[in-house]
Amino acid sequence: MSFDRCFNPLTQRLTQMSRALAQHAAAPSVAFGTATAALLMAASAHAAQMAQSPEPANVCPALQHIVAASDFKQLRDEPAAQLPGVASADDCRANSHAYDCHWRAHWDADGVVNDPLEELGADIAACFPAVVHDLNTPTRQHFIVTSGERRINVTASVQGTNELRLRIAR
């Protein structure tokens, strides 16, 4: 669960408490002090919520663009096919039936998934409506994406320490 989703109910609850205390307290000085403390807690929780580190880039648009391509060789010059984390088009090889990229994973874990391969696998599974996840090991994940009559194999694997490989083939 992301930091935002985890603390949002807390900040809402503290804000409600501070308003209720300010409106319903009998002693104005006690109510003011309690309301101020609750409001400060809500403000600091909200500030922490806003200062969280950025989440990894969304890989879905690039994955969907690559999988939908009729010829993978054309993807080399298309910015829409640039996967987050891939430094240049030189990190990817393509022919008419396969697209193969290698890169070093450098994004931080999002608090739920600590492994870049698991993170990439979760993204692949979430990006496509018709996907079958048929292999899940610590070093390799395989998916079958169906689009119309086409069947596309998507394999994510670990090549070394934080080095990932993504191979998409028809």
Residues 90 and 97 sit within 8 Å (Cβ to Cβ)? no
Residues 52 and 4 sit within 8 Å (Cβ to Cβ)? yes
| DSSP H helices in the chain | 3-24, 28-50, 60-68, 116-127
Q: Beta partners for 130?
A: none
Which pLDDT value is given to residue 59?
85
Alpha carbon separation from 67 to 17, 41, 64, 82, 120 (Å, rounded): 50, 47, 5, 13, 15
Which pLDDT value is given to residue 55?
53
Q: State the pLDDT confidence band at 50, using cuts at 50, 70 and 90.
A: very low
Q: Which of 30-34, 42-46, 126-130 has the highest mean pLDDT?
A: 126-130
Only one residue has tokens 């698991």, namely 118
Dihedral of the alpha carbons of 46, 59, 62, 148, in degrees to the nearest 10:
-110
Q: Mean of the pLDDT values across residues 78-96?
A: 81
- The Cα–Cα gap between 85 and 123 comes to 14
Which pLDDT value is given to residue 74?
87
Q: What is the pLDDT of residues 99-119, one digit of tens each?
A: 999 887 765 555 555 688 888
Residue 43 has pLDDT above 60, yes or no: no
- CATH annotation of 60-169: 3.30.310
Angle at which helix 3-24 crosses helix 28-50, to 10 degrees, equals 170
Where are the chain's structural domains? 3-50, 60-169
